[in-house]
Amino acid sequence: DSPVRIAPGSKNLTLTRKLDKEGIDGPSSVYVNIICDRRRTTVPGFEIPVSIRVTDVNDNAPRFINAPYILNISEVTVVGTRVLQAVKTVDADQQGPFSTVQYSVLPGPNSDYFVFINELEGTIVLRKPLDYEALSNFTIGIRAQDQGNPPQYSDTQVHVNVIDADDQNPKFVDERYSAIVPDQSTQGTRL
């Protein structure tokens, strides 16, 4: 079942099915021998070996592993802290620009809370302070995009759960308190 054929009386080699550099959607290379018969002569025919090398095209988008992501983060986490280091993708294209992935936080509500530390690394850092009382959970979108022209990309979500922490100062009920302490009071006397 060869992926190429020659129509009788033709000199054209034609594909009969798709070829694929990664070998996913078809063979990544083809080797055939073409037998040439000489008609109306006693000279024997000959074989021509043909090798077809498939070059890569950007036909695969990066795929997130273990997505969507869930992030549980305390509201007292310091800005600049690495909060998610497990963002990973795979791209089935051959090694090179078609499989080199850049990460970004997609524009949208609350996207300004996070940023990738480096666009080529899947580590997200906290960019601005969180406040459980103002926003206890939200979702941001992230993108993985390869370097093809045009690029291929995939999007997924990070679900953020802000964990409440003791970040509120205590308050007195009244503005002033006063007490009279007798001279003979000992330690532990109730006022």
Distance separating alpha carbons of residues 75 and 129, to the nearest angstrom: 7
pLDDT of 24 higher than 70: no
153-168 residue pLDDT tens:
999 999 999 999 877 7
CATH code for 63-163? 2.60.40.60
Give the whole-angstrom CA distance, residue 154 versus residue 56: 20
pLDDT 10s digits, 62-120: 999 999 999 999 999 999 999 999 899 999 887 888 899 999 999 999 999 999 999 99
State the Cα–Cα distance between residues 100 and 62, nearest whole angstrom: 9
Please name every residue paired with 46 in a beta bridge, in sequence order, or none if there are none: 36
- Flag whether the pTM goes above 0.85: no
At 25, the pLDDT band (50, 70, 90 cuts) reads low
Residue 13 has pLDDT above 90, yes or no: no
Residue located via tokens 């089935």: 92
pLDDT digits (tens, 9 = 90+) for 119-142: 999 999 999 999 999 999 999 999
Other Cβ atoms less than 10 A from the Cβ of 52: the count is 15
pLDDT at 175: 86
Domain boundaries, the chain: 13-53, 63-163
At residue 54, the pLDDT reads 79
Residues 4-30 have a mean pLDDT of 76
